[in-house]
A and B are shown apart, each in its own frame.
Chain A
Amino acid sequence: MINMPENLSQLIDQKTFAHLATVMSDGSPHVAPVWIDHKDGHILITSGKGTVKDLNMRRNPNVAISMVEPENPYKFVSVKGTVIEVTEQGGDDLVDALAFKYLNEEKYPYRQEGDVYVIYKIEVEKFTGN
């Protein structure tokens, strides 16, 4: 297990929106807000199979994440990392856990038939913040 900087895990433990940057096939960047979690020193995010970010992370595992603290937007972190695991195992449970964290709902309410939720495990490689 890797140790995650404490100010990063503290931020992730709040209802903080993470802005996940990935790279498109043409080399241009893409960034979108996502829910975020951490486990055993890694960042965990989830997305639906076939989304832009899913395709991007499978093609190019280099990602970056930017977050500002919900109560104090002048506290921020910017992370560079690598997706080290992409799995569907546990994807449904993680999206429900995140719905509980962010929406206080037992089940992710926006699930659509046919959606497959994927977990991306991200190793933090570089961390800046205040």
Chain B
Amino acid sequence: MPNLSEHLTKFLDQKTFAHLATVMADGSPQVSPVWIDHADGYIRVNSAKGRVKDANMRREPNVAISMVDPDDPYSFTSIKGKVVEITEDGAEAHIDALAYKYLGVDTYPYRQETETRVTYKIEVQQIAGKNVSSKLT
């Protein structure tokens, strides 16, 4: 089991919005805010089958994630990683756990009947970021 650094778990354990970057079929980047957590040394995000980021991660498993500490906007982290597992198993429970973490509710309130939730397990490959006084430009 890989170890996530304390620097990183500090971000992941808070209600931090993660900005997940993926690559489109035409090679251009896409980035949008997602909820995030971690288990067994992997970062986990959740989406629904057929979404842009779902299609992108199935085609190109290289992803990047950027986060700013909600309590300290000058502390940030920027990660490069690889999607090592894509599964619908447990993905419903996972989105409920994220809803609990971010919204304090037991069940994800925006569930749509037609959607299939998916969990993406991401292996961290590179971490950059500091507690700034470093540079954001």
Contacts and interface: CB of A to CB of B under 8 A. Distances in A.
Interface string B15-39: 0010111110001111111000000
Given A19-B21, A31-B65, A32-B128, 19 more contacts: A15-B73, A19-B31, A21-B30, A28-B23, A28-B64, A28-B80, A29-B21, A31-B31, A31-B78, A33-B19, A45-B137, A46-B137, A47-B137, A48-B135, A62-B28, A63-B29, A66-B32, A78-B31, A98-B137
B133 interface: yes
A29 B63 contact: yes
A104 to B, nearest CB: 13
A27 interface: yes
Interface of B: 17, 19-23, 27-33, 60, 62-66, 68, 73, 76, 78, 80, 128, 132-137
Given A35-B136, A62-B27, A76 B33 contact: yes
Interface of A: 15, 17, 19-23, 26-35, 45-48, 60, 62-66, 68, 70, 73, 76, 78, 80, 95, 98, 102, 108-110, 117, 128
A95 B136 CA distance: 10
B21 A21 contact: yes
B62 A29 contact: yes
Contacts of B63: 29
The residue in A28, A48, A80 that gathers the most chain B C-beta atoms within 10 A of its C-beta is A28
Contacts of A47: 137
A66 B19 contact: yes
A74 to B, nearest CB: 9
A30 B32 contact: no
A65 B136 contact: no
B27 A66 contact: no
A79 to B, nearest CB: 9
A117 B136 CA distance: 12
Nearest to A102: B136
A76 B32 contact: yes
A62 B29 contact: yes
